[in-house]
Amino acid sequence: MKIKLILLSVLFYSCSSEQYNGKIIDMHVHSYTQSDFGEREPAADHYGNKGSSNADQHMMATFDAFKHLNVSKAAVSGNPESVENWFTKDSSQLVIRGILMFAPDDYGMDSVKFEKMILDKKIEIFGELAPYYSGTTLSDSVWQPYLRICEKYDIPVAVHTGGGDPGGTYSWSPKARLKLGDPYLIEDVLVRYPKLRIYMMHAGGEDWPEHGIRLMAYYPQLYVDLGVMLWVEPNTQRYITEFLHNVKQAGYLNRVMFGSDQMIWPGAIQQSIDFLNSLDFLTKEEKGDIFYNNAARFLKLEK
């Protein structure tokens, strides 16, 4: 009897820790031109790994990672020039064009220019939006013209939640405040635009993961991506592990999507995949949903 129990335990563990090796959709990738490359990122990550040396090297190394890791689609955000460059250099047609915006007037943007970019298919996802860094929230009036256009044309919205890089308030983002990263601050958006496809990047961040789960409970249209939480440093990985435990128990794992948020470190895509695959409380099927199926549904991709 004891031997049977041991065998069953071994079988259960090996099944529950099976790795997923299928197609992947990365919902959180960053692009750069040389003018803004490394502008916001340190020279090395938490583990001492140096990033790419320039924007072109970063793009090619990321494309190589996509091919090696079976990434079939990637939501890429950056300044419009960089995103368009990635799109034109993408022979595999996997780039989904986004736009990185901290403030609603970045790049001389207004609602007229934005709508034209939508109609010209230059923007397929509105985001990464990071009002946190400019001292605003997505619920503020300055963002509403864009969100109305997104709902009109069924354009998905990707919004940064949680904090930012430590010390960023003293350098490139002086208006950033931790309280602005609280996921509850986007609730008015969810109420105003019930048809809007929207996902919270970083799943609420390490500060408010439970707020993220509560919002998912109240608003069934809301998805999340895991983002930088999967790789950036061990304490953050602790938070995202707890989030995944809790969101699975709550029954909302089917709205969790993979995102690497690799910034200038293409190797972080592999790190993110390996970490998510190492979580033995997730089944192979659940990992497949996070890596691919949930995002495919959110993006309305043809099967």
pLDDT at residue 144 is higher than 60: yes
Task: Calculate mean pLDDT across residues 191-220.
Answer: 95
Task: Calculate mean pLDDT across residues 268-294.
Answer: 97
User: Which has the higher per-residue pLDDT, 83 or 206?
Assistant: 83
Measure the CA dihedral 244/245/247/248, to 10°.
110
User: Which has the higher per-residue pLDDT, 48 or 180?
Assistant: 180
Residue 235 contacts residue 228 (beta carbons within 8 Å): no
pLDDT given at position 112 = 98
Residue 236 contacts residue 229 (beta carbons within 8 Å): yes
Query: Residue 303: which pLDDT band, with cuts at 50, 70 and 90?
Result: low
Query: Where does the chain have alpha helices with state H?
Result: 2-16, 55-69, 80-89, 111-119, 144-153, 187-192, 209-218, 234-250, 267-277, 284-288, 294-299
pLDDT at residue 10 is higher than 60: no
Task: Calculate mean pLDDT across residues 130-135.
Answer: 95
Cα–Cα distance, 282 to 50 (Å, whole number): 31
Residues 6 or more apart in contact with residue 300 via CB below 8 angstroms: none
Of the listed ranges 13-22, 78-87, 99-108, the least confidently predicted one is 13-22
Query: Residue 13: which pLDDT band, with cuts at 50, 70 and 90?
Result: very low
Give the start-to-end residue ranges of the domains of the chain: 2-299
The fourth-level CATH superfamily of domain 2-299 is Metal-dependent hydrolases (3.20.20.140)
Query: Residue 92: which pLDDT band, with cuts at 50, 70 and 90?
Result: very high
Of the listed ranges 40-49, 64-73, 200-209, the least confidently predicted one is 40-49
pLDDT given at position 171 = 85
* Cα angle for residues 235, 281, 300 (degrees, 5° grid): 90
Residue 8 CA: distances (Å) to CA of 12, 20, 279: 6, 22, 19
* pTM of this structure: 0.92
pLDDT given at position 17 = 64
Task: Calculate mean pLDDT across residues 203-211.
Answer: 90
Task: Calculate mean pLDDT across residues 35-39.
Answer: 87
User: Which has the higher per-residue pLDDT, 277 or 4?
Assistant: 277
Residues 148-202: tens digit of each pLDDT: 999 999 999 999 999 887 788 998 889 989 999 999 999 999 999 999 999 999 9
